[in-house]
Amino acid sequence: MNHLGKFQPQLIRQDEAADISGVPSQAIDQLVALNLITPAGDGTSDGKLFSLDQTPLLEILAAMNALNFRLEEMRDMVQVAEILGTHPGSELAARHRVRLGAFMGAMRRRPVSTDEQIAARKALIQALSHRYAWLT
Model pLDDT for residues 5-21, shown as the tens digit of each residue: 556 678 999 999 999 99
User: Does 34 fall in a domain?
Assistant: yes
User: Does 3 fall in a domain?
Assistant: no
Residues 6+ apart with CB under 8 A from 82: none
Contact status, residue 133 vs residue 104, Cβ threshold 8 Å: no
pTM of this prediction exceeds 0.95: no
Number of domains in the chain: 1
CATH value at residue 74 = 1.10.1660.10
User: Does 51 fall in a domain?
Assistant: yes
User: Does 63 fall in a domain?
Assistant: yes
- CA 114, 134, 34, 48 dihedral sign is negative
Model pLDDT for residues 56-83, shown as the tens digit of each residue: 999 999 999 989 999 999 999 999 999 9
- Could you give the CA distance from residue 70 to residue 64 in angstroms, rounded to a whole number? 9
Which amino acid does the sequence have at 114? Answer: T
User: Does 98 fall in a domain?
Assistant: yes
Range of the domain at 69: 11-135
User: Does 58 fall in a domain?
Assistant: yes
User: Does 6 fall in a domain?
Assistant: no
- Could you give the CA distance from residue 128 to residue 134 in angstroms, rounded to a whole number? 10
